[in-house]
Structure 1
């Protein structure tokens, strides 16, 4: 059986699998075939939870004595949207002008294809690594992230698996390969604010309490002043209001409630608990100072609900992992990558509880877009970077 050394061929096989989350779409089966060619052991655990779709995952390992390196990622992709808007069909893996088109090309089937190719080239040149390489691949990263990486890590750890380091192959480079390694991520916290009023006719406002009057100053106090000015390795904490709703289809009715949802991306100056306390304190002060109707003495009544589980902030300080990857990037592309904590969350937020983790993958400019695509030259370059890292890591 030939080894999967060609990243473009690997990626084409994966793109042709319509693995729109939560569907497996045969993508994990294709990946399993590649890893079997490398003499890896492959398992496909399925995890479930009430109210969420069952998710199939993949854990593979090439065993040896020595350090254990994890490569983590996901084969599920976001929906392509209107397929007719694409220059080439979203699951055809068409090649035009030196680029491969397809949903998942950069986020993140491309990263998986390159790491598989790099490992195959390593095995071809050196034999099995002087250590272990495992693949921790989920089908739930683009979904609710409940039956994926979190449970797969717990499942593997319960079987005695431990790791010395991990690379997540998400698209991390903003402009060109070699720009950036992600060594941490800001935390994420989502809340929903509900202000209570009294419904009534707009022509008789004295008989009602308009909750919008209370909501607006409360939102203002969440936006100003700034929570902080940033820290050494992180951007300033930022809160964005994402929805405002009164659930009111009528134009002549004062609503009884007004809600707003917000998300905060926070740096290492905060814990989720401390940030929740700060937000609640700001809202308490604004509610006490605000009124739903001029001349009334009752402060604004509100509730706040925290949605989902907060994602903690983290920073990887493992010098060997960061230095080895940085040197590998520089050796291939001729520049030292920036170490960054920018961007959104990823499954690295779960992996960091088990071992040091960094993120490095393709250029992310077209991810989630119509005509998502990757340069074939970038696939080869990323494969060379991963190969150099494997050689240096297991040296």
Structure 2
């Protein structure tokens, strides 16, 4: 197997992406950089900007070939704000000592660059045997309401459902080849408003202190054992993120207290069941509480074997490591994709993602390029 024959400049393409300050919800031309490279490789490009007029989310779908097997690569060009503390400018794409620095280098413009480079190698080989597509959104780091979630139904309507999807998120903690993600926990957030009656602390019988009920409610939620995990998922975790009263004084009983929490849950649960449980506990400790819940994704898992084994073989052959098949960490757009086709995630080392001086090693980008290329050939492309 001979790859890297196209002469495609992975680092140069990554620099072009990093020099676009595509902080959610801004695009700053990042999708145009991707589209330009894919057009030169022969892809048909469709821009799909969904959402309210004037505040649309920029998205791109591109496909090369019409036959099966059909492999889709999913990713995002939007990034989180750079913040302070950088010694390398966050949007310069500076290369120093074998590293390329910039916001999004690891998460996940580097992954996009490596995949496009691998596609260039496949095209240079000639004789594409199936089809390759890319689903690239400009809203993964933000609310995610009109990005991948909205593109997927369009793909169904237009006959673009892939046989498998590979997401280029930075899955490796410290070194290439450590982890392939084959699932993710679900996520549900809740805001519980406990109301009372304001009054003087010296006359508590004339008031109704909501803080006492809120503290008891929060304790009951936090100490409940949701589950003990299973063979592929860690135990579900409920975290109280704040209990807000907004009371600047010590002698006034406040009128309300607000609890915020998040549950990262495994596939033992479904989001609507956990929402119902939160309401049941709230009713027990604070009958008049207002409970708002938001499910941002359900837990999912792609079965090992089959295409996942092809990916693991490609990783092992190029890195010398046998990757762990993992379901931990936060959410990704794979949570939406899993409802349409099997999906797995493999990308760069993520040790510096969302940090100052985020970077990816140039050697890792080339390794990732070869992993993607080897996987595509094994997939039948």
TM-score w.r.t. structure 2 length? 0.95
Q: Is the 8 A contact 1:188 1:265 kept in 2?
A: yes
SS in 2 for 1:46: coil
Contact 1:318 1:356 in 2 (8 A): no
1:311 aligns with 2:297: yes
Q: 1:363 to 1:93 in 2, by over 3 A?
A: same
Residue in structure 2 matched with residue 361 of structure 1 by the alignment = 347
Give 1:310 deviation, angstroms.
3.9
Q: Following TM superposition, by how much is the alpha carbon of 1:279 offset from its aligned partner in structure 2, in angstroms?
A: 2.6
SS of residue matched to 1:358: strand
Structure 1 residues without counterparts, runs of 5 or longer = 288-299
Query: After superposition, where does 1:201-220 map in structure 2 within 5 Å?
Result: 201-220=200-219
> Cα distance, 1:129 vs. partner?
2.0
Tell me the equivalent position of 1:42: 45
In the alignment, is the contact (CA less than 8 A) between 1:4 and 1:10 conserved in 2? Answer: no
- For 1:134-170, what per-residue CA distance to the aligned partner results, in whole angstroms no more than 9, with x for missing partners? 0000001111101111111112221121210000000
**2-side partners of 1:203 and 1:225: how far apart?**
34
The equivalent of 2:55 in structure 1 is 53
Contact kept? 1:4, 1:34, Cα under 8 Å: no
CA RMSD of aligned residues (A): 1.7
State which drifts further: 249-258 or 55-64: 249-258
Structure 1 residue 318: deviation in Å? 5.9
Could you give the per-residue CA deviations for residues 325-352 of structure 1, whole angstroms, max 9, x where no partner exists?
0000011111210000000110001111
Q: Does 1:333 align with 2:333?
A: no
**1:301 matches 2:303:** no
- In structure 2, C-alpha distance between the alignment counterparts of 1:260 and 1:65, rounded to whole Å: 52
Partner of 1:75: 77
Q: Please give the residue correspondences for 1:4-153 in structure 2 after superposition, counting only pairs within 5 Å.
A: 5-49=8-52, 53-82=55-84, 85-124=85-124, 126-153=125-152
Paired residues, number: 377
Three-state SS of the structure 1 residue aligned to 2:306 is helix
Q: How far has the Cα of 1:127 moved from its partner?
A: 1.0
Following the alignment from structure 2 to structure 1, what is the Cα–Cα distance between the partners of residues 369 and 353? 19
Measure how far apart 1:128 and its partner are. 4.2
Structure 1: distance between partners of 2:122 and 2:243: 53
Contact 1:64 1:129 in 2 (8 A): no
- Of residues 193-202 and 99-108 in structure 1, the stretch that sits farther from structure 2 once superposed is 193-202
Distance 2:177 2:87 in 1: 28
State the match for 1:324 in structure 2. Answer: 310
User: How many Å apart are 1:37 and its aligned residue?
Assistant: 1.3
- CA distances 1:198-254 after superposition (whole Å, capped 9, x unpaired): 101223222111111111111111111321110110000100011211133444321
Conserved? CA contact 1:4–1:37, under 8 Å: no
> In structure 2, the residue corresponding to 1:117 is in which secondary structure?
helix
- Indicate yes or no: 2:355 matched with 1:352: no
1:296 counterpart residue number = none
Deviations 1:261-306 (A, max 9, x none): 100011111111222233333333444xxxxxxxxxxxx5322111
Take 1:246 and 1:284, find their aligned partners in 2: how far apart are those partners?
20
Match of 1:378? 364
State how far apart, in whole Å, the 1-side matches of 2:45 and 2:271 are: 37
Change (3 A) 1:385 1:235: same
Matches of 1:266 and 1:4, distance apart in 2: 44
8 A Cα contact 1:3 1:38, kept in partner = no
Moved more, 127-136 or 309-318: 309-318
Secondary structure of the corresponding residue to residue 375 of structure 2: helix
Tell me the equivalent position of 1:192.
Answer: 191
- Could you tell me which residue of structure 2 aligns to residue 291 of structure 1? none
Work out the CA distance in 2 between the residues paired with 1:357 and 1:137.
Answer: 15
Distance in 2 of aligned mates of 1:142 and 1:310: 13
- Distance, in Å, in 2 between the alignment partners of 1:24 and 1:242 is 31
Give, in whole Å, the separation in 2 of the partners of 1:393 and 1:46: 30
Q: Distance in 2 between matches of 1:264 and 1:46?
A: 31
